[in-house]
Structure 1
């Protein structure tokens, strides 16, 4: 399927690895010029080289913390008027709510609530002028169901979801869509870190932990960055102009609900 994205410009935040990289790869495959972002310059450069060689599109890397004003400015300097914005950022570390102080609460809110809103504010004027824009926010399954220890991340991402529910309808007449992708258990470094902790706490082997957790998912497996990225690319495509304000679960059926 031709997604109609050839020559479009995309900023993909936190895209040197994991789900962000999956989104960047899928958009590059569709013909987009990409602005990558990450904190590890070596990993970022590796990703930039791989995408450039494989897809032949322009790929610019911006090493920066997207949560900071300086990091956001660096991204926007590299691509002042993107057609596509994929908001992504690391979440606060797993921690019981009783262990959260004011500083960590505010940091979590900035990471997963304030930052994507600031970027949306920055990119939508040019999108409105062109009559086209696609914004995809990578949030989490935890927006819909609690995950132990991720209360801060869940709260910030749920707040973003509620905030943008009205904003997306303001922007819809201008040809701009805003949608959220909610990953469940995806085979990423963050998930593997959780396996390590569980293995240490229980004395169970990593292989057993993986098997136990995969068995809880109706699809009987973990998701991967490539299929996640393809879903993101579709939401950014010309075919998805009538889809906005949606929360799309990618969890293999783990969330048990009809609606």
Structure 2
């Protein structure tokens, strides 16, 4: 797999969306995972869509400094009539390019789906479909990766396994991950931001490289602190 092109020094959003969130300044740490938490409807997904250059349906007043981005959401978004390999190569196909078969095979191997290249999505488990979506995200080879609750539909074991896999495979990219799960953020985030209608608040993250062990004392402490902040 190729290494990503470094993201620009400044990636973020500055401004406000009246009726949704007040003035804020979001700047992402280059090559790190920023976890964004907050109540439903506060505007987290709107920030992701702004960075992705997608329509938001809100009156946003401000500036967006972004980079070529790949977006992965809760729904894997696989085409039911395409095989695993064809879904992973979909971005190249849509651009009229020829995907490198060796690279597609390497990505499928990286997400531990070797042997399933010719299967259709209907014949995959939910966790397998989400790993296909992860491989497709990696295939885009973008320096900025936007994750919108991509593991929330998985059970606890698969959520832990797939989240850890994603962070390892995305190492070196600038990542913004929306999550409602303090435990997930405590494991996977280099940086924590909590969003409210008034703006953003930064919470200290535990030391150490991500992904962290789910049962490490500092991770459990960070999880408790984030939970307290979210329910306050």
Provide the TM-score with structure 2 as the length reference: 0.36
Q: Which has the higher helix share?
A: 1
Q: Which has the higher strand share?
A: 2
Which has the higher relative contact order, 1 or 2, with Cα contacts under 8 A spaced 6 or more apart? Answer: 2
